[in-house]
Structure 1
Amino acid sequence: MSTDSVRPVIGVLALQGDVREHVAALQAEGADARSVRRPEELADVDGIVLPGGESTTIARLAGRFGLLEPLREALRAGLPAYGTCAGMILLADRLVDAPPGQPTVGGLDVTVRRNAFGRQVDSFESGVDLAGIGGGSLQAVFIRAPWVEEAGPGVEVLGRVVGGAADGRIVAVRQGNVVATSFHPELTGDRRVHALFVDIVRAHLAEQAGADAGNERGKST
């Protein structure tokens, strides 16, 4: 059976940030998208989106709602995740220019610099080419955005800034089932990154189904 017919359940962490825009983009790409605020809701999803917003606020609320450790455990177990802007910060294993003790979920072997492009008034749009995504450049919206200072050997760099003072800075990465972008594709109407993530979730579900079938065959012999 083609994985295109699978309608995965993808959660959007709904503690703060641009949740509705992600839900709409995921639904348009064939996912059953829903808000996640509690551990029991996280347990029912096939993938999770960590949206933009304020990373310290989201991390604090995730701790208050008892979600930080369940999120860490889920990602360690292979749950696909996509983080935009603040979501990239939350998925990073290491941070630069972060408040002392700011927690992250982790899952990406990267060092991320918070507010790397400047303050809110320095927000901008720029075309970004992403590896593995056809159709030309994406018009990327950067709002108090981070960038990746350093990526580990298992991390695929999907996109970099071209031109200007930040030329060459990494703004999109993937490590296995985890994707992160510095920018906000949910704000532009260009759903190609969301389509990529939905495909990642579908592929993960297919792998799980194959493994489960193999285990059942092993029990019957």
Structure 2
Amino acid sequence: MPTPPIGVLALQGDTREHLAALDSAGAHAVPVRRAEELEAVAGLVIPGGESTTIAKLAVTFGLMEPLRARIRAGMPAYGSCAGMIMLADKILDPRSGQETIGGIDMIVRRNAFGRQNESFEAAVTMEGVEGGAGRPVHGVFIRAPWVESTGAGVETLAEHDGHPVAVRQGPLLATSFHPELTGDHRVHALFAGMVHESRERDASGAV
């Protein structure tokens, strides 16, 4: 039986860049727009874009509840920038009626590093990626959020200016920045490895 692909939520945002980054990291990646496509993937990337628009489209396309159900069931997911907001259990400054998928026990502040014209790039030391502290990740921050606080089960993988910008909780990963825009695919390789580990655990019946 072929290995299920990793999906990239293709409602809004930089879907194409994530698909290319996953392919470059050695993973088979496919776009996901419908609930039946979501059921066919082993993990999911939630791309950067506009979090309120992604949330509204997820509701419109009948994807919000299936997404929440798959996350609760243990599906690995990775969110970059707006995707980090979508995976947060709580937003500090949400727009009226803004929903998230949830899953990571964290509070996130939207646009924490500034607006579009205050976007920047920085070297980020990130645990878990190949090379670790000796080989920083190139972080592209575009209207980026940061993590205000985390629960006990959340591991901070990277900080910038004293704020967490990469976190992991079990099979869920999130970054404030956009590694898909840099040509450095180590974050995507990390996530692909998480998906593989999850499948191995499922196959062995481990809890």
TM-score normalised by structure 1 residue count: 0.89
The 5-angstrom pairing of residues 1-221 of structure 1 reads 8-135=4-131, 136-161=135-160, 167-211=161-205
Report which stretch shifted further, 131-140 or 107-116.
131-140
Q: CA RMSD in A?
A: 1.2
Consecutive unaligned residues of structure 2, counting only runs of 5 or more, are none
SS of residue matched to 2:205: helix
How far apart are the structure 2 equivalents of 1:28 and 1:145? 24
Moved over 3 A (4+): none
Number of residue pairs aligned between Structure 1 and Structure 2: 202
Q: 1:128 to 1:147 in 2, by over 3 A?
A: same
Consecutive unaligned residues of structure 1, counting only runs of 5 or more, are 1-5, 162-166, 213-221
Q: CA deviation at 1:96?
A: 1.2
AA of the residue aligned to 2:140: V
Q: Is the 2:48–2:80 contact (alpha carbons within 8 Å) kept by the matching residues of 1? A: yes
**Superposed CA offset, 1:62-119 (max 9, x none):** 0000000000000000000000000000000000121122100000000000000110
SS of residue matched to 1:97: coil
Q: Is the 2:168–2:174 contact (alpha carbons within 8 Å) kept by the matching residues of 1? A: yes
Q: Is the 1:7–1:30 contact (alpha carbons within 8 Å) kept by the matching residues of 2? A: no
Q: Please identify the structure whose Cα radius of gyration is greater.
A: 1
Q: CA deviation at 1:181?
A: 0.1
